[in-house]
Chains A and B, each alone.
Chain A
């Protein structure tokens, strides 16, 4: 039943998008201006544009997959076609995610377990955290150039704080009794860290992974908006410059798919690594 409504709503929205504008001249009060295909294109047009941008049909309108070599030729013609752009965006997102998560985790652990360090760094962290990270993107592009590095740094910057704060909280919340139990069972300082503090902090880290991967993608796209050679963000900017609503929409849809796949992947890893938690507290 739920599925029925989900499909019905989806099809309904697509139908309004596709044909709604046709009613605009007759009943203008019913159809808002935003449905103008000049801004939002139309599903059918977006689909055709997707086939062209993805080199699935040639400029003549034939399927490339039927003709040997046609697909490669089409791909070779452009510096930033759909596949290359997706590859670069995905790659930089994952790098930003990986570096942000690992450095945020280590920093959070260090400061969370040391009252001295956390006292010293507290004002700096609060100050930095008050800056909207995206505001730094132009500076980063200036400093690191328009290549991959600047995108990774931007993504890292948005991810690292999120992960840091979660890990920090988690490191403070480690159960004293677990530490005592480990000590009395013979654990030394380092063994306590490795076998108690890290695993119990992990639970908090994981709670931040799903937002972290989305943040990383946002960081990369913003970086690409400002200056890039490849990537879906650049693709959107180019389409905008040519006034191609369909092109922008294709890029947005690809981003949506990328985002869904990344989030689902992270959730699977998370569910596996947190399998020891009782089902009722799996909410995060």
Chain B
């Protein structure tokens, strides 16, 4: 049997980002390098303020790096030129408050000029997948936090991006809603197997979802360690947490992570 080498989708090479804040230089990302292959679900884990969002924003072309290079599908990333096959789910709620659930989810299709008939079908399907049936005409202001996050997710997924950047999409949710969202995300991902870069500072979340965990150090952010998470798929977000393998890997990563949190506090 012959093994074709996996195709690289995201490659980050000695990436640096320095912010100027009130005359002071803040090194947010310092020489971070990693590579993500096709179909991989990678969690980027690290203490608050270590530069996770900054890395994601650079990959998404929203901000320009001060050094290093990013390649998506072997093409260099140009700041300000969004890449068609990349979807981004923000840390902050960025739903358009003046659009209904339907309008938000169908937004990308509207921009792309997808005919109304097809758009309606795809939006209805997405609403159903997200478990939002009956909420088509609701405005974001009248939805719960968990529902809003599901709308955000579907708004990005409907364009069928092959690469998905997610920045703590469930960070603001309570434990139960979070577990619920993990099941939703996993079942959606099982179907399409997108390449995912998922930022979180919740170790349990990283272990539940990802194939790999990239651990970042406290600021200035660099890559500290890379863990393989080889729990079998499809996974059950709840049952997985009761297995011994989960407990074992959890404590292993936890120690590494604990050192960074301690550093983050003393810095």
Report the stretch among B90-98, B178-186, B218-226, B247-255 that lies at the interface. Answer: B90-98
User: Is B90 touching A186 in the complex (CB atoms < 8 A)?
Assistant: no
**Contact assessment for A178 and B94 in the assembled complex, using a CB-CB cutoff below 8 Å:** yes
For residue A51, CB closer than 8 A to chain B, the reply is no
User: Which stretch from A25-33, A107-115, A128-136, A192-200 is at the chain B interface?
Assistant: A192-200
The distance in angstroms between the C-alpha atoms of A200 and B95, with both chains bound, is 12
- B111 neighbours in A (Cβ, 8 Å): 185-187, 191, 195
The one of A180, A186, A199, A278 in contact with B98, judged by C-beta atoms closer than 8 angstroms, is A199
Please name all residues of chain A whose beta carbon is closer than 8 Å to the beta carbon of B231 when the two chains form the complex. Answer: none
* Min C-beta distance of B194 to chain A, whole Å: 15
Question: B107 to A177, Cβ gap below 8 A?
Answer: no
Which residue of chain A is the closest to B156 with respect to CB atoms?
A185
CB-CB under 8 A from A184, the residues of chain B are: 60, 62, 82, 86-88
Is B141's CB within 8 Å of the partner chain A? yes
Q: A277 near B96 (CB under 8 angstroms)?
A: no
A275 touches B139 (CB 8 A): yes
Across the interface, do A186 and B139 meet the contact criterion of CB distance under 8 Å?
no
> What number of B residues sit within 8 Å (CB to CB) of A?
27
Given A181-B90, A191-B111, A275-B139, also A186-B82 (CB < 8 A): yes
Query: Quick check: A177 and B98 within 8 Å, CB to CB?
Result: no
Whether A186 and B112, one on each chain, are in contact in the complex, defined by CB atoms closer than 8 angstroms, is: yes
Q: Is B159 an interface residue (CB 8 A)?
A: yes
CB distance from A113 to the nearest CB of B (A): 17
Q: Is A183 an interface residue (CB 8 A)?
A: yes
Contacts of B88 in A (CB 8 A): 181, 184
Q: Is B108 an interface residue (CB 8 A)?
A: yes
Interface status of A5 (Cβ within 8 A of chain B): no
Complex CA gap A178/B94 in Å reads 6
> In the complex, what residues of A have CB within 8 A of residue B159's CB?
185-186
| Cβ contacts B56-80/A at 8 Å (1 or 0 each) | 0000101000000000000000000
Known contacts A184-B82, A185-B111: A177-B94 contact under CB 8 Å: yes
Say whether A277 contacts B108, CB under 8 Å. no
Binary contact readout A179-217 vs B (1 if CB under 8 angstroms, 0 otherwise): 011111111000100011001101100000000000000
Residues of B within 8 A of A (CB): 60, 62, 82, 84, 86-88, 90, 92, 94, 96-100, 107-108, 110-112, 139-142, 155-156, 159
What are 15 A-B pairs with beta-carbon distances under 8 A?
A: A175-B94, A177-B94, A178-B96, A181-B88, A184-B88, A185-B156, A186-B84, A186-B108, A195-B111, A199-B96, A199-B98, A203-B98, A276-B98, A276-B139, A277-B141
